[in-house]
Amino acid sequence: MSRLARSQQALKLFSEVDLPHPWCRQGWCLYRCTAARAVKVAAFDFDKTLYFGGPSWKLTSAQIPKRLQQLQQFGYTVVIFSNQQGPGRQTSSERMQLEVAKLLSNFEDFYDFVRVDLQIFVSTARGDIGDPFRKPNTGMWKLFRSLCFHLNDLAKVFMWGTLPAARATPVMWT
């Protein structure tokens, strides 16, 4: 079976997963976007920028809540853009459901940990199919922008992340 055929099969399985409120889906992108209108944006990659994984992730991320809360107090809308490929690799409905539940649970745990109204965008496609939502492509940024960032003052936007996200920064703001 070709990569494209596997991807189409996985996307069909992915589209059949029931998402808990407030999560939504567009193509391979899962998102949680509750901000009415962003004026200033502080965007971050998730893995190894805000979340360091493992059983002791709350210890390795201990300084993160305070920093994100400060940004929110300064009027920033805090956004996470993350590539996660687990769902894109699933081949059965049961495994897809479990993978999506696990993925959303990680983000919900982090959301509860930082106590900040986060806007979260997660590309879940495999890295080898050229998905428009997967960084360094601009799909997640364009989706966020269409939902709650309608200004063109890009001087009020910054992105911080690991190398793939950092390379995408100049492109994402177009």
Confidence at residue 174, expressed as pLDDT on a 0 to 100 scale: 40
**Nearest by Cα to 69 from 117, 33, 106:** 117
Residue 61 to residue 37: CA distance in whole angstroms? 28
Confidence at residue 169, expressed as pLDDT on a 0 to 100 scale: 44
pLDDT means per 10 residues, the chain with 174 residues, are 74 92 95 80 89 79 91 92 90 93 94 93 87 91 84 72 51 40
**CA-to-CA dists, residue 132 to 9, 150, 164, angstroms:** 18, 20, 15
Which run of H or E residues covers position 29?
strand 29-32
The CATH class, in words, for 3-172 is alpha beta
Q: Is 109 helix (H, G, I), strand (E, B) or coil?
A: helix
**Nearest by Cα to 123 from 66, 157, 164:** 164
- pTM, to two decimals: 0.87
C-alpha gyration radius of the chain? 16
**Whether the Cβ atoms of residue 87 and residue 10 lie closer than 8 Å to each other:** yes
Classify residue 19 by its DSSP letter: P
Written as one letter, the residue type at 146 is S
